[in-house]
Structure 1
Amino acid sequence: MTTTLERPPAAAPEGPPAQPRPALRALSGVLAAGAAVGVGHLVAALTDPVTSPVLAVGSALIDAAPTPAKEFAVRTFGTADKPILVGSVGVVLLVFAAVVGLVAWRRPRTAAVAIGLLGVAGAAAALTRGPLTDVVPSVVAGVVGVLALQLLRTRTLPGAGPAAGSPASATDAAVGRSRRGFLLALGGTAAVAALAGGGGFVVGKVRDAGSAARRALGLPAPASAAAPLPAGVQLPGMTPFTTPADAFYRVDISLVTPRIDASSWSLTVDGMVDRPVTLSYDDLLALPMIERDITLTCVSNEVGGSYVSTGRWLGVPFSAIIERVGVQAGVDQVYSYSADSGYTCSTPFQAVSDGRDAMVVVGLNGQPLADERGYPARMLVPGLFGFVSATKWLERIEFTTYAKRTAYWTERDWATDAPVLTQSRIDVPKSLATLAKDKPVIAGVAWAQHRGIAKVEIRIDDGDWQETTLADDGGIDLWRQWSFRYDGPAGLHSAQVRATDLDGETQPEERTKVFPDGARGWHQIQFTAE
């Protein structure tokens, strides 16, 4: 009798790689990107916060944005323009990461390249603003993103179905182990994202604490103190004449406030000089200081806008710096460098050498500068818009020529020389508000720094111009308050205001945009008189 040996049945081929549900795949991409950004942020916090991948990309977008787009952002969103930009970059990143996660199981190589491109984009953006070392956080972020996505993708079943003849219980156990492994990988990736992001936040707080401790040491007394302001510079119920330091307007290009350790900071003064010098923070504080009340204005201030503030500043006069380094013949520009994302500023040499109170500032309203105001040191030149005079987070001053250096905003077609325009504003009442019958006073401020205000006039509806009552004058580098008692009929009315400076120039009526050298025109409101 012949015995027939039966072959065991061939194993059924494995099915295609198992995939999590679409929502979990999308979540995988988001968490992988979150881990990448979190780790990149931590690395940047340990080196230079502005090189964090999202911030690097956002800063590059600011640089690349056309001037009309920047004007629109400042006009529409004010000081919230940068948080909105960062949030927008975050939303785009979120959507992109979710799409990468959706395709990762079917096209793993494509997904890996796509998420790696996040690091490439951050590195490329960082390179446009700084040295080669600035790419490190973005490169690390790209590597972490690729590894995190690969980890999540490999924590699922290798096939869609069991091999023929396999016990169902064994298959169920494998499915359970795979599901647990995948969920654990998701949780681990989320933890990495949270811990790394939180670590970057903690590092920033530690730096802030060190900076606060250094500032607690205080400031030296000025060799030349500010003269007391006349009691009558402040009108009752009006905008504070001296702006509290935390209420100062702020306009700069940085997406994150530079946090500078004064103990390692230095200011280099060089260029066309006989004796270049590098000053530590303590060296700077040891120099004779002046204290002055000065009003600062931004060129982005629209007619009637709020980008104008007044403070009591403490700093080293430029005259002392010029004498110390020995400026050579032919210099026509002071070119300043900031820690604010590679920002540079162009100031006419004439404006820092003609006797006005131009200075390198270390204090505001009796306290060391806050981080947001430019700590450890910034520039201030009365009579010029801030974008050509008020460099914050100052690192270097180069005495040079306009032919050799072109500053950040000049490259973007803003004016090279930008003296503050004669401007005025109605603060009381606010537009569309009611003017009380028992206090029918319209009031506001006017400014023409380094020229001073001679008079302010108001026109109700289409009537004649009437001269207002000026508050006491604090000096030509300060704004001046004014008031007008309304005695007209009740109802809805309009009011326009215009100022004349001490040079005899009156504000023009025609409105202009802030680009390229400041807004012109008369501020107008509507109000209801009781």
Structure 2
Amino acid sequence: MQTTSSAPRWPYAVSGALAATAGTAAGHLVAAAVNPGASPVVAVGATVVDATPTPVKDWAVSTLGTADKPVLLASVAVVTLLASAGIGLLARRHRTLALVLLGVLTVLAAAAALARPTSTPVDALPALAAAAVGVTVLHLLCGAADRTGQPAKRPAASPLDGTAHEAGAQPTPARRTFLVGAAGTAAAAAGGLALGQKLGANPPLPTAADLPKPTNTLPALPTGLDGKVPGISPFRTPVGSFYRVDTSLIVPRVNADDWALEIDGNVANPFRLTYAELLALPMVERDITMTCVSNEVGGGYVSSARWLGVRVRDLLARAQIKGGVDQILSTSTTGFTISTPVQALTDDRDALVAVAMDGQPLPAQHGFPARLVTPGLYGFVGSTKWLARLTATTYAKEQAYWTERGWATNAPVLTQSRIDTPRGLDTVKAGGAVPIGGVAWAQGRGIRKVEVRVDDGEWMTATLGPDAGIDYWRQWYVKWTPSGSGRHNLTVRATDNDGQLQPRAKTDPFPKGATGWHSVVVFVA
């Protein structure tokens, strides 16, 4: 239907944007009851993540860090608002076409939700709710916008001066009606979004008192160099500072009472464990440093914690893996998959199905109720969060999420070292002792030596911090007494316990981890 309106354009643009906002709020509210991941913006964002080329993902992780997910969701929201504002402008002349186009936007959101690996038909309900509310709001607000173009009744002549007030000199009743309706819609949408966010929040987590005691309680970690070398990374990373890299735009909502771990595939004895049954199994503690393959040289995607969990090799022994299996495909509650070489999960490195870190149940953002932790491998091949299934299979039969995108199938952690202090472009004083410190890691091998060089001078052997095992990082430091003033380049390199020096040549993280010596520039004053 083509319409003719003498109203200004801006009310229609506002109508389109508010219609999309109200629809999104309705969809978010319904998704809280059905599946938070089916919320229209989240579903579309997840589809964008899956379709994004690997170089762009690497750029986002290295540039935006943990802000990559909020930035993506905000970008999807902004694009949706702009498109909806355009649809609103179209409604000024072509009302029916505009209503249809707004419906098409929600159909795309429904398709995105249904395309997720773990989707069910009910995951389309949030988008349907968004369509119903969005189309209705657009129809009503555009109707109110139409009336803003109608001339107000001219008032009677003034008995005092014989003149009439100019029509439209004051806001017309129709314009006030539109503004009130728009404000009410915005307020209702904000309330719906807030309520949906609250209802979709993760349920309360168990407490430390609910955790079982390990069969091999480890001694307390030794005191690190934290208090001795200001600016150095803590020996044990605080849970709140532990890095997070994954593809989930929202933290999955998992209720421990409804969760179970399936062990299946090419095994003689497939079985299923509830959360209570998992906690009842023998637990071990392990001090393990985890690293993301996306970590650039000197990057921050590396952290260390004490983990509590069940040995994966014990679970796989119970399942009785059949011949020919060369990988374990682990699946999260979101349907995300990771492939791990079967040897890494059955040898004596003690890969874990972890249920706790640093004496507390896993935080929701780090994988509650259980996650895979495989010492010596980068996270993308050994650290599935929100773990739901372990499937014994082969690389020829099954490909995991990152394997399909060209990353390596077996990615041992490479030896790396990082300067934490002084930071790049810092200014230090001449004449006094300046500590140069940081961390080094070579999971599965351990660190034997760390060396530091100033400019092209001789390599200085660093003092190493405490040793918590081959799977845990080492802190290190040297004292440097700068003289004069000017610019200096500090470089660090590490040698593992096998006697292998970390590679000097700089390579990108793709497809199996970055290499190179970390350097920072400082100034002496």
Q: Would you say same fold, with TM above 0.5?
A: yes
Match of 1:522 in 2: 517
- The partner residue of 2:483 within 452, 473, 489 is 489
> Do residues 313 (structure 1) and 307 (structure 2) align?
yes
1:499 maps to which residue? Answer: 494
For 1:386, give the aligned amino acid: G
Stretch deviating more after TM superposition (387-396 or 126-135) = 126-135
Worse overlay, 97-106 or 227-236: 227-236
User: What is the SS of the residue equivalent to 1:524?
Assistant: strand
CA contact (8 A) 2:288 2:375 kept: yes
Q: Higher mean Cα deviation, 229-238 or 215-224?
A: 229-238
Query: Which of residues 194, 202, 227 in structure 1 aligns to 2:190?
Result: 194
Match in the other structure for 1:85: 72
CA distance in 2, matches of 1:187, 1:429: 52
Decide whether the 8 Å contact of 1:17 with 1:160 is kept in 2: no
Residues 315 and 184 from structure 1, CA distance in 2 versus in 1: closer, same or farther, beyond 3 angstroms? same
Question: Conserved in 1, the CA contact under 8 Å of 2:451 and 2:492?
Answer: yes
Give the CA deviation at 1:152: 2.2
8 Å CA contact retained: 1:435, 1:441: no
User: Where in structure 2 are the equivalents of 1:348-427 lying within 5 Å?
Assistant: 348-427=341-420
1:82-138: CA deviations, max 9, x gaps? 111111111111111111111213101221121112211211222221324222211
Query: Deviations 1:305-347 (Å, cap 9, x if unpaired)?
Result: 111000010001112212222222221111011124x310000
Q: Sort the Cα spacing of 1:228 and 1:161 in 2 relative to 1 into closer, same or farther, 3 A.
A: closer
CA offsets per residue over residues 473-498 of structure 1, 9 Å max, x none? 22100111111121353322111111
With over 3 angstroms needed to count, the CA separation of the structure-2 counterparts of 1:152 and 1:352, relative to structure 1, is same
Q: 1:17 to 1:215 in 2, by over 3 A?
A: farther
Aligned to 1:69: 56
Q: Percent identity?
A: 49
Q: What SS does the aligned partner of 2:45 have?
A: helix
Given candidates 133, 137, 142, the residue that maps to 1:144 is 133
Correspondence 1:512 to 2:507? yes
User: What is the aligned partner in structure 1 of residue 221 from structure 2?
Assistant: 229
Deviates more, 1:407-416 or 1:152-161: 152-161
SS at match of 1:302: coil
CA contact (8 A) 2:338 2:384 kept: yes
Q: Is the 8 A contact 1:388 1:418 kept in 2?
A: yes
Say whether 1:254 aligns with 2:248: yes
- State the AA in 1 paired with 2:518: H
Matches within 5 A, 1:129-168: 129-130=116-117, 131-133=119-121, 134-155=123-144
2:328 corresponding residue in structure 1: 334
The answer as to whether partners of 1:16 and 1:159 remain within 8 angstroms in 2 is no
Q: CA separation of 1:167/1:508 partners in 2, compared to 1, >3 Å: closer, same or farther? A: closer
With structure 1 as the length reference, what TM-score do the two structures score?
A: 0.90
**Contact 1:43/1:137 (CA < 8 Å) preserved in 2?**
yes
**CA spacing shift, 1:147–1:449, aligned 2, 3 Å:** same
Could you list the per-position Cα deviations for residues 433-471 of structure 1 after superposition, in whole angstroms to 9, with x for gaps in the alignment? 134544322111110001111111122111232322222
Secondary structure in structure 2 of the residue aligned to 1:154 = helix
Higher mean displacement: 486-495 or 375-384: 486-495
Deviation digits for residues 7-40 of structure 1 (CA, Å, limit 9, x no counterpart): xxxxxxxx97545432211111111111110001
**1-side partners of 2:186 and 2:45: how far apart?**
24
Partner of 2:200, secondary structure, is helix
What pairs up with 1:216-295 in 2 under 5 angstroms? Answer: 217-231=209-223, 236=228, 237=230, 238-295=232-289
Aligned pair in 2 of structure 1 residues 105, 496: CA closer, same or farther (>3 Å)? same
Residues 27, 101 of structure 1: 8 Å contact kept: yes
Compute the TM-score of the two structures, normalised by the length of structure 2.
0.90
Output the CA distance in 1 between the equivalents of 2:438 and 2:186: 53
Q: Distance in 1 between matches of 2:90 and 2:400?
A: 45
The question of whether the paired residues in 2 share the 8 Å contact of 1:498 and 1:506 is answered with yes
Which structure 1 segments of 5+ residues have no match?
Answer: 1-14
Instruction: Confirm or deny: 8 A CA contact 1:42 1:196 kept in the other structure.
Output: yes
Give me the whole-angstrom Cα distance separating, in 2, the residues matched to 1:487 and 1:157.
76
SS in 1 for 2:82: helix
Distance 1:231 1:176 in 2: 73
CA contact (8 A) 1:422 1:499 kept: yes
Deviates more, 1:245-254 or 1:186-195: 186-195
- How far apart are residue 69 of structure 1 and its match? 0.6
Number of equivalent positions: 504
What letter matches 1:301 in structure 2? N
Q: Quote the Cα distance in structure 2 between the aligned partners of 1:167 and 1:452.
A: 88
**How many Å separate the matches in 2 of 1:429 and 1:104?**
59
Structure 2 partner of 1:8 = none
Larger Rg belongs to: 1
Deviates more, 1:349-358 or 1:176-185: 176-185
Contact 1:452/1:477, CA 8 A, preserved across alignment: yes
Deviation at 1:184? Answer: 5.1
Contact 1:471 1:480 in 2 (8 A): yes
Q: Name the CA shift for 1:108/1:382 in 2 (closer, same or farther; >3 Å).
A: same
Q: Tell me if structure 2 keeps the 8 A contact 1:40–1:137.
A: yes
* Residues 176-207 of structure 1: per-residue CA shift (max 9 Å, x gap): 775565455434433442232122022134xx
Distance 1:447 1:68 in 2: 26
Residue-by-residue CA offset, 1:24-69 (whole Å, 9 max, x unaligned): 1111111111111000111111111111111111111111111111
The CA distance in 1 between the partners of 2:221 and 2:186, in whole Å, is: 57
CA distance in 2, matches of 1:327, 1:74: 36
Task: Report if aligned partners of 1:151, 1:185 keep a CA contact under 8 Å in 2.
Answer: no
- For 1:510 and 1:30, the matched residues in 2 are separated by 51
Confirm or deny: 8 A CA contact 1:458 1:495 kept in the other structure.
Answer: yes
| 1:338-388 deviation line (CA, Å, top 9, x unaligned) | 124x31000010001111120000001000011111111100000000000
Between 1:471-480 and 1:176-185, the stretch displaced more is: 176-185
Q: Which moved more, 1:509-518 or 1:228-237?
A: 228-237
Aligned counterparts of 1:321 and 1:117: Cα–Cα separation in 2: 48
Q: Secondary structure at the match of 2:330?
A: strand
- The aligned amino acid for 2:63 is T
Partner of 1:41: 28
Asked if the contact 2:298–2:419 (Cα under 8 Å) also holds between the matched residues in 1, the reply is yes
Cα deviation, 1:412-447, whole Å, max 9, x if unaligned, reads 001111000000011111112134544322111110
Change in CA separation of 1:484 and 1:167 when aligned onto 2, cut-off 3 Å: closer
Name which of 442, 452, 464 aligns with 1:448: 442
- Alpha-carbon distance in 2 for matches of 1:378, 1:204: 22
Quick one: distance in 1 between partners of 2:489 and 2:155?
84
Which letter maps to 2:517?
W
Q: Is the 8 A contact 1:235 1:471 kept in 2?
A: no
Structure 2 counterpart of 1:459, from 453, 459, 466: 453
